[in-house]
Structure 1
Amino acid sequence: MLHKTGVPTILIWSSLCLLMACDNTPRATEVIKSHGPEEGSAALVLLIERAGGEGPYVEGATEHFRVVTSDETFKSVRWSVSAGLVTPDSERVSWTLPPAGQAVLSVSVETQSGKTAEGAFTFNVVAASLAAGIAIDSGPDVTGSACELAFDNAGRGHLLYLNDTHRSLWYARWDGTTWTREQVDGPGFGTGGFISAFALALDAVSGTPHVAYLKGYGSPGGAPGFNRIWYATRVNGAWVTENTAPVNRSPNTRVSIALDPAQGLRPVIVVSDNVTSLSSLTRTAPNTWSPAIIDATSGTAVEYVMGDVAFDAAGTLYIPVTTGSGGPIYLTAVRGTTAESLRLEPVDLANRWLPMVWGPGNHLLMLASGGSLGARMGLLDITVASPFSASTYTAFPVDNENDASDLAYAGKLFIAHRHGTALELITPDARNLWTYTQIGTAQSSSRPSIAVRPTTGVAHVCYQRDDKVSFQ
């Protein structure tokens, strides 16, 4: 069972804006960090600017870069690449990209003041055939400020995304070549409403999607009385939708969903807002939902679900929880009517979403999607013990700048990471140090979603670019 959650939501912009020929819209130069430590003078940090390009790095295309550093003038600059054709011109370079795969662009500099530095930048080069199919919805509407990606065991892709123009919810399936799109819900004549939050859980064996979402009327920030939690699933090729409870919700409602393996993969929705208590909704039969209040922190007035929820094989439900802005983060374990919570030290996670997946063994991996510069607690590796009170965790930094992230685990850890408009794939190397690979351009204010295709072991990402939901 796979589950994902979507909530619609910067690397420092260069002052140089380029006019792109595709739509004549002013665009800020994309800035890429080498993630250091660079070799050479400790105080000299190198960045490269991508000039005139955007989106994925496509085999055979020519990309243009410029190396920059703070308050220094270059005396000499040398460029090299692991593959492809490079044409240097002092601090600028043109690079014709090699065939699909990973490739490295390296630069070494000496400044007029005598400082030296070297930087290496890793890129994921995609095949032209894949790049041509990256836009999933080519219609005129804005799509993809939120998207969720998952794969079933047969390698078919399942994608849930928001149509931002009409506030409708869409689903797309990928057979390895072609995407097929269907509307799940949205505004209609005597039916539907506007969608503002959603979550996806996938039965990886059958390929059946299970969706929880917030549907209401008026603007996403409208009156609380018009928002309710809905559920949708695909039965015999058609979408079936259910109102899970006649309870009015705040537009600030957060929702997540998971399938309980100890109960035949029945869907369980976890929901919270700033009006009602943290609670779960269990689907016991079609159109039948059983609500339950979850007291995660022993009587705290308001508790919020803070990230993706997950079941273990025995049916214990794990929920990231917070008690409010600036409050501590808890991992709450719910078994039947009993809830226990592991307090995680106060970290820079408040008002952020926490993607969470099972790692190796009894390890839950929790990632901060967004945070302050240099945040130490980017990734939490939680060792779940029995009794739960004996559980422990370790925290690791992921990147100096984190605007939005997602993670997946399939024998190793994969992180999709956006800072500004730069989109990266982060993976551990043989020494467990992070490897940062550039995979293209994503729209600022959007959050990517990552999943690993089990038939190939390749990580894929959905994200928003040029106001369109995209896939790579």
Structure 2
Amino acid sequence: MSSRFVWVFVLVALAGCKGDPSEPPEPPVQENAVPAASILSPEEGATLRGAGPHELVGSGSDAEDGSLSGAALRWSSNVDGELGTGSLVRARLSAGEHRLSLDVTDSGGKQARAQISVTVVIEDQPPVVAIESPTAGASLVEGTPIPLRGTAMDPETGPLSGAALTWISDRSGAIGTGTQLSWTGAARGTHRLLLTAVDPAGKAGYASVTVNVVPPGTNQQPVVTLSQPSDGAQLLTTQTVTLQGSATDAEDGVLGDSALAWSSSRDGSLGAGRQRSVTLSAGTHTLTLTATDSLGAAASASVLVTVTAPGQTAPTVTITRPTNGFTLFEGTPLTLEGTATDAEDGPLTGAALRWSSSIAGALGTGSPLTVPGLAAGSHELLLTARDSSGAESAARIRVEVLPSNSAPTVQITSPATGSHFTVGSTVALRGAAQDPEDGVLTGNRLTWQSNLGGTLGQGTSLDVASLVEGTHQISLTALDSGGRAASATLQIIMDPAPVRLPPVARLTGPAQAEALRPVTFDGATSSDPDGTITSYRFDFGDATAPVSGTAAQASHTYLTPGTYTVTLGVTDNDGLQSTATRTVTVTPYVRVPEVVAEGVESFGSACQLEMRGAVAHLAFRGGIHPSLWYGTLTGTTWAMVQVDGMGFNTGGLVESSLAMAVAADGTPHLAYSLAGRGVWYATRSNSSGVWIRERVDSATVPSQPGAQLSISLDPSSGQRPTIVYGWYGSVPSVGTVWRTAVAFRTGTAAWTGEVVSFPLGTNAGQPPLGEATFSPTGTLFIPYGANLLGAWKSGSAAQALALPANLTGTRISTTWAPAGPLVLSANGLHRVVLANPVSASTVTLSAVEGFSLSQFSVAVDSGGAPRLAFTHGGELEVARPGTDNYWSRTENLGAVDSGEIDAAVDGAGETRACFFRAGKVLLY
């Protein structure tokens, strides 16, 4: 009982004796004394290495309470806050300067404080690396992709990936980077695979496995499973221990008892079989199950167990450093740390802890223990702890020691450490590395990293403008051909950028535009209060890609009517941005005919048009000097060339009838006739631009002047050019009459022609009356006679179909629709729905005008609907099926000269037409 409580008791007793003349005077009240506090460890000003845990030792005493302990002693840090209570505290501390306080409180509430200052230095730790696939000792089949999979965990920044991980084979060299990849083409033989991981501070960690690449068909090792006892098990000498395991083999399947052998590192052979019952001697045992297949391939698995006599308790052992699978290079010092605690003896230290290696033998005692260097190889390190009663237990890890490889020497030459830069400015990083084995290292052997910005790039020279504000630890890591890494580091400070003013965006342009016609928007009046505008970005609001660049103006073509919001974004020389918007209303496009060819030459009599996407292909005839011309219009670019005409010892007078077909790749195919020289074919190579001209008709199948020419590409014969022309001659049992001739190209300057007699109108003339068109299966449909449509296919009998109206007028126009051919004549549009035979087909005639057409052409759109171009009162008019399939017309498109016009449908689904006006070629 403390003295203060004795005095209180005495005073209470005396208070009951009032009026006693012999009562002694009241003793003075003693005040509770302040306790004493003392920090014994660490010392004032000490430098503590690592985060700990660090031991904080202190004491507290009080005049009344004596020695204080437990919750009466409270530890804290001005950085990390409360650390714990008691005379001994193991605490983890953050890096930096700490003011450590020990506050002592006695039973009366009086307090005392002791304080010291310490500095905690936490060095960046290397990443912990592991190879998950392949496993050590694996046999891999040559020629088969080998999956490589690994992990790297950096204690400071977390998981590493990508270029931070490099795979290397000592046999094949560099393989690749990343946490996983497929290794192909591995050479046959033994490979040591090394996975090197480098953290942002340039610290490197390693993992390695040795594998064998074997020829296909090589016997594979068994796969062994040791299921009992478990690793680290504590057993007794009097205990019957059950050993249990199994093995499977790729060739033999499940292996039997005789293939499985058990052994102990202490007791030797323990017998064979999938299950054994044994007793073990006292001590630490490595129990191994070895499986051997029928061809002698062996593999094993093992566990470490501790066996003690009854009444003994073996210590608990843990290896804390390094980690299992740790990899280092030969000649590198290795620090070993571990702990052991015994139920009776408490913590074991010094000689009670023995380290040994499966290769090097005894290494030393105590913890920590630094081994100067281990020989190359796979070491099983054992930490054995022995208590005062002689009971032992152990823990084990595997450490891979790679053959000696000297580390590179790395130097950062620029910038100087401690340099200041402004955010947004370019930092010039320069460095060099030299390796004793490889010499000078360059390129992807050198990697720059920042603790704030991650991987920055590779090489001896790197300019970086993306570093964020703050203090950066910049590292340059060099990796040699053997996978060993070394780094140099420095610190630079990125200061905040000064306040800069954003630009002012201003956008001008029309408020209205027309679809399919270009419109220009202007951002030239934009400005920057403290600099210049460096780029403009126009977003036209119609889902097309924005236009970016240094130009202050941009033109755009809207495809469909509507209301659109145009956005201009401007960027100044500081990288700051602003935007402005403008609304534009786009009205429907109204196409007008445009002159594409004019000059001294007067063009007329016939034109042909094909559309391939946005490119228009035209063939037309010069009238003053009878000649054949070909041109293309791409956007606003027009190009034309004379294909044939009068020349010096070449060409001739081009007659009025001509035809054109254009392949999907844009190759033109032309058919025309030369006066007195028959029917000709011309095509141009898209690669060379050279025109090829060939005579089509022959002495056996000559052409007759005056008939219509047509050309079409046979889809069933590789787009083979096929030309239809007129033939006039003697037909048995009929007399001298017109017939249709068909010629198709069989090779360069090689044509095969035949005269066709259709079954309808046999006794009359059968000249072709206009365009011929192919079906998808290669049947050619040819208008002929008064009201007939012929069907011809090479090698098959000709067929014919009677149409309900005469094929009067100029050149008859045909095209292919999904159900069959469309035939446009002066009397209207014949829509044919094919049947077999062709004569059984049905035909519907649709009137186009209330009069006979004189110039007309039909095309078909992507949906199979007809598109018409024709003249009405001497002016061009186009039509398509509209509401309820009534014709929807676009009228009054301008005067048209006499001659042949042609229609096509472009990539936007618009009807196009070529025609002549005043000796010029126009395109609608």
TM-score of the two chains, using structure 2 as the length reference? 0.34
Query: Are the equivalent residues in 2 in contact too, given 1:367–1:407 (CA < 8 A)?
Result: yes
- Would you say 1:409 and 2:860 are equivalent positions? yes
Instruction: Please give the alpha-carbon distance, in whole angstroms, between the structure 2 residues aligned to 1:252 and 1:439.
Output: 32
Partner AA of 1:349 in structure 2: L
- What is the deviation of 1:158? 0.4
- Would you say 1:228 and 2:682 are equivalent positions? no
Aligned mate of 1:312, from 764, 775, 778:
775
Instruction: Please give the alpha-carbon distance, in whole angstroms, between the structure 2 residues aligned to 1:198 and 1:429.
Output: 32
Query: Are the equivalent residues in 2 in contact too, given 1:305–1:319 (CA < 8 A)?
Result: yes
RMSD of aligned C-alpha atoms? 2.5
Instruction: Please give the alpha-carbon distance, in whole angstroms, between the structure 1 residues aligned to 2:774 and 2:599.
Output: 37
Aligned equivalent of 1:29: none
Partner AA of 1:233 in structure 2: T
Q: 1:301 to 1:398 in 2, by over 3 A?
A: closer
Aligned equivalent of 2:722: 268
Aligned equivalent of 2:605: 145
Query: Are the equivalent residues in 1 in contact too, given 2:781–2:789 (CA < 8 A)?
Result: no
Instruction: Please give the alpha-carbon distance, in whole angstroms, between the structure 1 residues aligned to 2:759 and 2:839.
Output: 13
Aligned equivalent of 1:381: 831
Q: Deviations over 1:120-153 (max 9, x none)?
A: xxxx9746xx76xx2112211211331111012x
SS of structure 2 residue aligned to 1:283: strand
SS of structure 2 residue aligned to 1:431: helix
SS of structure 2 residue aligned to 1:389: helix
Aligned equivalent of 1:215: 674
Query: Are the equivalent residues in 1 in contact too, given 2:605–2:621 (CA < 8 A)?
Result: yes
- Would you say 1:390 and 2:840 are equivalent positions? yes
Partner AA of 2:859 in structure 1: A
Aligned equivalent of 2:231: none
Aligned equivalent of 2:646: 187
Q: 1:206 to 1:101 in 2, by over 3 A?
A: closer
- What is the deviation of 1:101? 10
Aligned equivalent of 2:739: 277
Partner AA of 2:923 in structure 1: F
Query: Are the equivalent residues in 1 in contact too, given 2:870–2:877 (CA < 8 A)?
Result: yes
Partner AA of 1:320 in structure 2: P
Query: Are the equivalent residues in 1 in contact too, given 2:769–2:783 (CA < 8 A)?
Result: yes
Instruction: Please give the alpha-carbon distance, in whole angstroms, between the structure 2 residues aligned to 1:426 and 1:272.
Output: 31
Aligned mate of 2:712, from 251, 258, 277:
258
- Would you say 1:292 and 2:754 are equivalent positions? yes
Q: Which has the higher contact order (CA 8 A, sep 6+)?
A: 1
- What is the deviation of 1:273? 4.6
Query: Are the equivalent residues in 2 in contact too, given 1:254–1:305 (CA < 8 A)?
Result: yes
Please give the residue correspondences for 1:377-456 in structure 2 after superposition, counting only pairs within 5 Å.
377-401=827-851, 402-410=853-861, 411=863, 412-454=865-907, 456=908
Q: 1:301 to 1:393 in 2, by over 3 A?
A: closer
Aligned equivalent of 1:31: none
- Would you say 1:363 and 2:820 are equivalent positions? yes
Q: 1:264 to 1:398 in 2, by over 3 A?
A: same
- Would you say 1:343 and 2:802 are equivalent positions? yes
Aligned equivalent of 1:34: none
Q: Deviations over 1:6-50 (max 9, x none)?
A: xxxxxxxxxxxxxxxxxxxxxxxxxxxxxxxxxxxxxxxxxxxxx
Aligned equivalent of 1:3: none
Instruction: Please give the alpha-carbon distance, in whole angstroms, between the structure 1 residues aligned to 2:606 and 2:839.
Output: 35
Q: 1:380 to 1:397 in 2, by over 3 A?
A: same
Query: Are the equivalent residues in 2 in contact too, given 1:101–1:126 (CA < 8 A)?
Result: no
The structure with the largest alpha-carbon Rg is 2
4+ aligned runs moved over 6 Å, structure 1: 99-102
Larger mean CA deviation between 244-253 and 291-300 belongs to: 244-253
SS of structure 2 residue aligned to 1:338: coil
Q: Deviations over 1:226-265 (max 9, x none)?
A: 1400000012211110011344543312211111111111
- What is the deviation of 1:404? 1.1
- Would you say 1:465 and 2:917 are equivalent positions? yes
Partner AA of 2:777 in structure 1: A
SS of structure 1 residue aligned to 2:811: coil
- What is the deviation of 1:452? 0.8
TM-score of the two chains, using structure 1 as the length reference? 0.65
Instruction: Please give the alpha-carbon distance, in whole angstroms, between the structure 1 residues aligned to 2:873 and 2:749.
Output: 42
Query: Are the equivalent residues in 2 in contact too, given 1:168–1:194 (CA < 8 A)?
Result: yes
- What is the deviation of 1:357? 0.9
Instruction: Please give the alpha-carbon distance, in whole angstroms, between the structure 1 residues aligned to 2:606 and 2:810.
Output: 14
Instruction: Please give the alpha-carbon distance, in whole angstroms, between the structure 1 residues aligned to 2:912 and 2:892.
Output: 10
Instruction: Please give the alpha-carbon distance, in whole angstroms, between the structure 2 residues aligned to 1:433 and 1:458.
Output: 18
Partner AA of 1:261 in structure 2: P
Instruction: Please give the alpha-carbon distance, in whole angstroms, between the structure 2 residues aligned to 1:126 and 1:466.
Output: 23
Query: Are the equivalent residues in 2 in contact too, given 1:214–1:228 (CA < 8 A)?
Result: yes
Q: Deviations over 1:84-138 (max 9, x none)?
A: xxxxxxxxxxxxxxx9999xxxxxxxxxxxxxxxxxxxxx9746xx76xx21122
Q: Deviations over 1:353-377 (max 9, x none)?
A: 2211112x22211101x3xxxxxx4
Instruction: Please give the alpha-carbon distance, in whole angstroms, between the structure 1 residues aligned to 2:635 and 2:885.
Output: 31
SS of structure 2 residue aligned to 1:304: coil
Instruction: Please give the alpha-carbon distance, in whole angstroms, between the structure 1 residues aligned to 2:793 and 2:672.
Output: 22
Identity among equivalent positions (%) equals 32
Aligned mate of 1:302, from 733, 744, 765:
765
Number of residue equivalences: 326
Instruction: Please give the alpha-carbon distance, in whole angstroms, between the structure 1 residues aligned to 2:653 and 2:560.
Output: 41
- What is the deviation of 1:426? 1.2
- Would you say 1:174 and 2:646 are equivalent positions? no
Instruction: Please give the alpha-carbon distance, in whole angstroms, between the structure 2 residues aligned to 1:351 and 1:295.
Output: 23
Query: Are the equivalent residues in 1 in contact too, given 2:727–2:741 (CA < 8 A)?
Result: no
Query: Are the equivalent residues in 1 in contact too, given 2:897–2:918 (CA < 8 A)?
Result: no
Query: Are the equivalent residues in 2 in contact too, given 1:428–1:434 (CA < 8 A)?
Result: yes
SS of structure 1 residue aligned to 2:859: strand
Partner AA of 2:811 in structure 1: W
Aligned mate of 1:162, from 612, 617, 621:
621
Gaps of at least 5 residues in structure 2 are 1-516, 518-557, 562-587, 730-737
- What is the deviation of 1:333? 3.8
Query: Are the equivalent residues in 2 in contact too, given 1:252–1:274 (CA < 8 A)?
Result: no
Query: Are the equivalent residues in 1 in contact too, given 2:897–2:915 (CA < 8 A)?
Result: no
Aligned mate of 1:352, from 804, 810, 814:
810
- What is the deviation of 1:335? 4.7
Aligned equivalent of 1:111: none
Instruction: Please give the alpha-carbon distance, in whole angstroms, between the structure 1 residues aligned to 2:885 and 2:633.
Output: 32
Query: Are the equivalent residues in 2 in contact too, given 1:442–1:463 (CA < 8 A)?
Result: no
Aligned equivalent of 1:113: none
Query: Are the equivalent residues in 2 in contact too, given 1:125–1:439 (CA < 8 A)?
Result: no
Instruction: Please give the alpha-carbon distance, in whole angstroms, between the structure 1 residues aligned to 2:604 and 2:636.
Output: 20
Query: Are the equivalent residues in 1 in contact too, given 2:811–2:900 (CA < 8 A)?
Result: no
